[in-house]
Chain A
Amino acid sequence: MAEDFDNVNIEDLEAKDTARKIPLGWLILFWGLILWGIYYLAMYSPVISGWTQEKAYEESVTK
C-alpha cells in the first residue's frame, strides 16, 4: 500500500533563506493604503467633513 506516500516536509514548502523577507514595495503599498484610508474616511464621513451623499447629489443636479 502507498502509505504516507506524499507526506510533507514543511521545509519543502517554505523557503529558508527568504522566509522573513517582506518586499519594500509591498510595505509601501500596505502603509500607503492605510494612510489613504484615513484621508478618505475623513473626507467622506459626514461628522468629520460635513460631506453627505444627499448634498453631493443636490450639487450634481444644480450644476
Chain B
Amino acid sequence: MHDYQYDHQTVKGFIVSSIFWGVVGIVVGLWISIQMWKPELNIPPYFTFGRMRVVHTNGLAIGLGIGAIFGISYYIVMRLARRPLLFPKLARFHLYLFNAAVALAALSLFAGMNQTLEYAELEWPLDIGVVILWVMFAVNVFGTIIKRKEEQMYISLWYIIATVIAVAILYIVNNLAVPAGMTKSYPVFAGVNSANVQWWYGHNAVGFIFTTPILAMFYYFLPKSTGLPIYSHRLSIVAFWSLVFAYLWTGAHHLVYTPLPDWIQTLAIVFTLFLIAPSWGSVVNGYYTVGSDWSKMQTNYLTKFFIMGITFYGLQTVQGPTQAIRVVSQLIHYTDWVPGHVHMGTMGWVTMTTAASIYHIIPKIYNTEIYSIKVANTHFWLVLIGQLMFSITMWITGIQQGALWKATNADGSLKYTFMEGLAKNYPFWQLRTVAGVIFTVGMLFFIYNIYMTIRKGRALAASQA
C-alpha cells in the first residue's frame, strides 16, 4: 500500500542530479578563480568571466542547492508526515523538468542572455519555468503535509513551509518584467526602486535557499543520525518565528551608502543585527544537543559534519551582520572580503550539512551502510581545509583592498591607483585557486563514496530480488 520505494527513487534522482550540477558548478568556479589571475583563460564569447560567473552561481545555487533541497525536502516531509508523497508521479515529473530547466538555464547564460539582476539572471521564459517547478514542489509539499498521518508538526516542516512560501514571493516579485522578444525583457522597477527590490530578493535568496531548508535538514538529520533528541523544542520554535519575521527586512544592508533613503538603510541594519539572535538560537540548540553526549563526535562520523556545519552557520551569522554596520561596510563592501563571506556559508554550512544529509539518506534508501567512513572523513577534512583557506585569503585581501581604496593624500587625492590595488590581490587569488582545488578533491571523495554506496545498495537489492 505504501509505496515509499517509488518516492525514494525520485529523492535519489534529485540527489544524483544535484551532485552532477554541483560538479559542473565547481569546475566552472575553479576556472573563473584562475581567470582572476590568468586572464588568458577568458575565451570569448562563451567562456569569459562575465558569462561563466553566472553559470557558477546559478549552477550551484539552483543545480546543486535547490536540486538537493527538492529531494531532501521530499524525504523529510515523507518521514515527518509518516506517509509517501501525495502526488508521486508529479514529483517524478518535477525531477525531469528540473534537470531540463537547469540545462537550459546554463545554456542561456553561456549564450549571454541575462536580466542583469544578480541571482535573478535568467530571462523571462526560464523564469516561468522556475515558477512552474516551484508550484509543483509546493503542491506536493503542502498536499503531503495536509494529508499527514502524524499530528504534530516537527520544526523541520516549518522551515520547509517557510522556504516554499518565501521563495515563491521573492522570485515572482523581483522577476516582474516586460518581455521584448523571447530572450530579452525590461524589469518593471527602475532606479533606486529596482535596487531595493533586487537586494530584498538577493539577500532573502540566501535566507530562504541557503538557510531555512538547510536548517530543516539540520534539525531532522542531526537527531536522526546521532540518536540525540534536539535540546529544546521551544528554542527551535522561538528561533524559527523570529528568523522568518526578521529576515525579509534586511535586504537593504546591501545598499549602505547608496542613494537609497537613509532610514531604509538604517532599518535594514537594525533587523540584520537582530538576526544574530534567531540564528544563534539554532547554533545553541545544536551545540546543547550534541553537548548531552560529546562522545558522538568520535563514535558517529556524521556528527562532526553537523557540528562543523552549524559552527560555520554561527560564524556566518555574526560576520554578515557585522558587515552591515556602516563603519565596517565602508571598509569591506565591494572588496574580495564579500566572496570570502559568501563561500563560508555555501562551502561550509550548506555543503557540509547537505552532504551529511545525503550520507544519511542514500544508505537508508538501500537499507545498507555507507561504503566507507574513512572516505567520508577524508572528504570532511579536505572540505574544511579548502573552505577555511578560501575565506581567510579573501578576508585578508579584502581588508587590504578596502584600506588601499580609502587611503588618501593630504589634498584628498587617492594614494593608490586601481592597478596598484589589483596587483596586490594576485597572490591571494592564486591561493584561493589552491583552496578551491583542495575543496574539489574533498568533494570528489564524497561523490565516490555516494557512488559506491549506491552500487553496493543496488547489488544488495538484486541479490534479494
Interface, chain A (partner B; CB < 8 A): 1-8, 10-16, 18-23, 25-26, 29-30, 33-34, 36-37, 40-41, 44-47, 51-53, 61
Contacts and interface: CB of A to CB of B under 8 A. Distances in A.
A8 B4 contact: no
Contacts of B262: 44-46, 51-53
B233 interface: yes
A33 B232 contact: no
Contact of B270 (A4, A8, A40): A40
Interface in B176-204: none
A21 B285 CA distance: 10
B266 A44 contact: yes
Interface string B133-157: 0000000000000000010101000
Given A10-B152, A29-B277, A41 B270 contact: yes
A5 B229 CA distance: 19
B455 interface: no
Contact of A23 (B5, B233, B269, B288): B288
Interface of B: 2, 4-5, 79-80, 82, 150, 152, 154, 219-220, 223-224, 227, 229-236, 238, 242, 257, 262-263, 265-267, 269-271, 273-274, 276-277, 280-281, 284, 288-289, 292, 326, 364, 367, 412
A33 B317 CA distance: 14
A20 B266 contact: no
Nearest to A9: B150
Contacts of B367: 2, 5
A22 B80 contact: no
A7 to B, nearest CB: 6
Nearest to B242: A30
A61 B410 CA distance: 11
A39 B12 CA distance: 50
A1 B5 contact: yes
Given A12-B223, A15-B229, A15-B233, A47 B277 contact: no
Contacts of A34: 274
25 contacts: A1-B5, A6-B79, A6-B364, A7-B82, A11-B229, A14-B233, A14-B236, A15-B230, A16-B229, A18-B232, A19-B233, A19-B234, A21-B231, A22-B234, A23-B288, A26-B281, A29-B280, A33-B274, A34-B274, A36-B273, A37-B274, A44-B262, A44-B266, A45-B266, A52-B262
A57 B202 CA distance: 27
A21 B364 contact: no
Nearest to B283: A26
A37 B223 contact: no
Contacts of B233: 14-15, 19-20
Contact of B234 (A16, A20, A45): A20
Contact of B229 (A2, A14, A36): A14
A4 B233 CA distance: 25
A52 to B, nearest CB: 6
B73 to A, nearest CB: 15
- Ranked nearest first, the 6 interchain pairs of A and B with the lowest CB-CB distance are A37-B270, A15-B229, A44-B266, A30-B277, A19-B233, A14-B233
Nearest to A1: B5
Contacts of B79: 6-8
Nearest to B260: A53
Nearest to B222: A13
B231 to A, nearest CB: 5
A4 B276 contact: no
A46 B264 CA distance: 11
B242 A13 contact: no
Given A40-B273, A61-B412, A53 B232 contact: no
A13 B231 CA distance: 9
A37 B271 contact: yes
Contacts of B82: 4, 7-8
A4 B154 CA distance: 18
Given A2-B367, A33-B276, A40-B269, 4 more contacts: A2-B4, A18-B232, A26-B280, A29-B277
Nearest to A42: B266
A13 B2 contact: no
B263 A47 contact: yes
Contacts of B223: 12-14
